[in-house]
Amino acid sequence: MEMQVVQRARENFLAGRSRPLEFRVQQLKSLQRMITDRQGEIATALKQDINRSQYDTPLLELIGLENEISLAVSKLAQWAAPRPVEKSLLTISDQVYIQPEPLGVVLIIGAWNYPWALTLQPLVGAIAAGNAAVVKPSELSEYSASLLKELYPVVCGGVSETQELLRQRFDHIFYTGNSTVGKLVMEAAARHLTPVTLELGGKSPCYIDKDVDLRVACRRITWGKFVNCGQTCIAPDYILCEPSIQNRVVEGIRQTLLEFYGPDPKSSPDYGRIINQRHFNHVMALLDGYTAALGGQSDSSQRYIAPTVVKDVPPHARLMQEEIFGPLLPIVTVSDIDDAIHFISEREKPLAIYVFSSNKKVIKRMLAETTSGGVTVNDVMMHYTLNSLPFGGVGQSGTGRYHGKHTFDQLSHHRACLVKSLGMEEVNMVWYPPQNHQKARR
Ligand code: NAD
């Protein structure tokens, strides 16, 4: 089954069906129509998958996706055109340009936490770049996956189907998910020398400086951490702050949680659930041995975990060893900005870093002395929303980038083209043998 899908995609590509710009635009527009027409069903599927609020689905997934599609439709001719580059003296009268070309058959493996955006955004770029695509949504967001299968030709399935797919030869693999599977994907790709984009996760730190409007900082952080029940790859994973402001941070988050979800988040229509029992147990186990400063309640029958904050978490605690990917927010205290920078830099390069401060020097130092896939200052996650910015990780948080034109470029081959005329043969004579003094003087 999987083999047939790949074979069909390969045949389509080789027959040149995915190449004409008109075809790409038509595909993109039908994707756009599908999302607009089925918005209600998509929101319902996500409600069933993770109790996502009906209001959040357009806001968090569909608007961004539609923006990506309209951008690609309006800019496609420009993106796909030859890009003239500087010439040398020897090529002054020739044509020298870079021609973006489709790579071939692209495999897209999506994750469950934002199953529409994370599966279809790479697809937008794959289509725009003229590739044939094979799409494999996550089996864990099962309602979304089966709805997507009704609307678009995708390969559904879990580990064994994905592994079967990975045995096939592709021209690019675009994977979103955890880094353990990321390594398996890269290994499988290496067998065919297939390039990969790996959109992975990790622990994204959030530093709160003492010179800051804490009310605003806490509101923004609380939203980014607890939206989608903490299951967001660029959610602030943990807070770093000085001990002197820790209690005020907790208080700011407490007030905000009350504003957002009321006194009982469990009954709030805006608060989500954990994707499945296995992940629920995993997140709860991270909390073992801690007393929550806020929250801490759970109900396994609903896969509910209250928005939870834990204070004074030791740097070597299990909560600080792996990505949480759930609604637990540890606070680790640091003595100052140097300590915070040191803390971040001695760990793996994160997918995102957040810094909240009114002090320009603090911001400047955090930007200059750390690295991460992306960064937002004085807010969380917002760098993701701009399709002019490349989105992706660095080091353990991933490789490659996408969004907007970056996806088009990521899924294109940039062919170096030099088109000469048959004239000016005297110039070439210089390097033809036989070499002798007379020729050199000529
Ligand atoms: P997941 O379980 O949905 O897995 C992702 C994909 O890998 C699925 O399609 C699944 O079928 C496939 N898969 C799972 N096990 C496999 C195996 N053994 N062999 C082959 N394929 C396999 O999602 P997940 O990994 O739980 O997602 C959460 C992780 O993804 C977090 O670490 C998060 O930070 C990261 N993430 C990153 C981004 C990003 O854009 N960088 C976005 C979302 C999630």
Distance 419 CA to ligand 1 centre (A): 44
What would you report as the CA-atom Rg of the chain, rounded to the nearest whole angstrom? 25
At residue 435, the pLDDT reads 83
Q: Is 108 in the pocket of ligand 1 (CB under 6 A)?
A: no
Predicted confidence at residue 441, as pLDDT, reads: 56
Q: For a pocket test of ligand 1, which of 50, 108, 112, 187 has the largest count of ligand atoms closer than 8 A to its C-beta? A: 112
- Contact between residue 357 and residue 324 where contact means Cβ atoms under 8 Å apart: no
Residue among 61, 142, 199, 242 flagged as catalytic:
199
Instruction: Read off the DSSP letter of residue 419.
Output: E
The rounded Å distance from CA 23 to ligand 1 centre is 31
Ligand 1 contact via 322 beta carbon (within 6 Å): no
Answer yes or no: 323 catalytic.
no
Give pLDDT, residue 252: 98
Q: Assign residue 132 a region: left if phi > 0, alpha if psi is -120 to 50, beta otherwise?
A: beta
Report the alpha-carbon angle 28-30-33, nearest 5.
Answer: 115
Asked if 254 contacts 246 with a C-beta cutoff of 8 angstroms, the reply is: no
Q: Which atom of ligand 1 is nearest to the CA of 140?
A: 3
Does any ligand 1 atom lie closer than 6 A to the CB of residue 162? yes
Calpha distance 279→281 (Å, rounded): 5
233 is catalytic: yes
Using an 8 Å Cβ cutoff, are 172 and 195 in contact?
yes
Cβ–ligand 1 distance for 110 under 6 Å, the answer yes
Q: Please state the pTM of the whole predicted model.
A: 0.96
Query: Which residue among 142, 233, 241, 323 is the active-site one?
Result: 233
Query: Could you read off the pLDDT tens digit of each residue along the chain, which spans 442 residues?
Result: 678 999 999 999 999 999 999 999 999 999 999 999 999 999 999 999 999 998 899 999 999 999 999 999 999 999 999 999 999 999 999 999 999 999 999 999 999 999 999 999 999 999 999 999 999 999 999 999 999 999 999 999 999 999 999 999 999 999 999 999 999 999 999 999 999 999 999 999 999 999 999 999 999 999 999 999 999 999 999 999 999 999 999 999 999 999 999 999 999 999 999 999 999 999 999 999 999 999 999 999 999 999 999 999 999 999 999 999 999 999 999 999 999 999 999 999 999 999 999 999 999 999 999 999 999 999 999 999 999 999 999 999 999 999 999 999 999 999 999 999 999 898 889 899 998 766 555 5
